[in-house]
Amino acid sequence: MLKRVIPFAHELIQKATKPGEIVVDATCGNGHDTIVLCKATGPNGKVYAFDVQKAAIENTQALLDANNITHAELIHDSHHHVDRYLKEEQDLLAGAIFNLGYLPGSNKSVITKPEYTLEAINKMLALLKVGGVIVCVVYYGHPGGQEEKDALINKLGQLNQKKYQVLQYGFINQRNHPPFIIAIEKKNDKLL
């Protein structure tokens, strides 16, 4: 009955996204989340997929090609520069997903950084539609991971509860730093 972290992260972003909408894969990695987002938006939607590593962009492009998907824009840049690419999307962003940590099978010293992740989230919150969701899958069992985890929990836990709902979801009886989710949903504060 209880969903594992990745399937639950995908469910959250899929429920917030309608065909034709705009979403962001903030850390495209090997492309699996990008594929999920492309299916959620359909061919008339747009997926912006970011990564700082060229290998991640190449892996994602190969997966997109294998699935005949053409409506994703791969961006070899940090997600904290999202505003350079989504300038006109205010109140149109349906959601975003982050897989924080490092690219599986690659250099473990290249990791997401809390200051860049938080900057990206703040910029995306300004673009997010009412009912939109930002989902962070937090891996923290590597050097630097605990600092990112703590920074996210501290900052996102302070978001205005009249504007946002912030969820933490994870399994507390698993060993070895199990990943967990932090999800942010933008509420319609005009109804309050």
Which range, of 2-16, 66-80, 85-99, averages the lowest pLDDT?
A: 85-99
Structure confidence at residue 167 (pLDDT): 97
Nearest CA to 141 among 191, 172, 100? 100
Structure confidence at residue 19 (pLDDT): 97
If you write DSSP's letter for every residue of 103-121 in order, what string do you get? -TTS-TT-B--HHHHHHHH
Mean pLDDT of 155-179: 95
Residue 135 has pLDDT above 60, yes or no: yes
Cα separation of the two ends of the chain: 34
- 118 φ, ψ (degrees, to nearest 5): -65, -40
Count of alpha carbons within 13 angstroms of residue 17, beta-carbon side? 31
Residue 91's pLDDT band (cuts 50, 70, 90): low
Nearest CA to 110 among 51, 49, 179? 51
Residue 154's pLDDT band (cuts 50, 70, 90): very high
Structure confidence at residue 109 (pLDDT): 83
Residue 90 has pLDDT above 80, yes or no: no
Report domain 5-191's class: alpha beta
Mean pLDDT of 112-126: 96
CA-to-CA distance for 121 and 134, rounded, in angstroms?
A: 8
pLDDT tens digits, residue range 101-112? 988 877 788 899
Structure confidence at residue 1 (pLDDT): 86
Structure tokens at 156: 């996102």
What are the residue ranges spanned by the domains of the chain?
5-191
Please return the burial class of 88, using the count of CB atoms within 10 Å of its CB with bins 0-12, 13-18 and 19+.
Answer: exposed
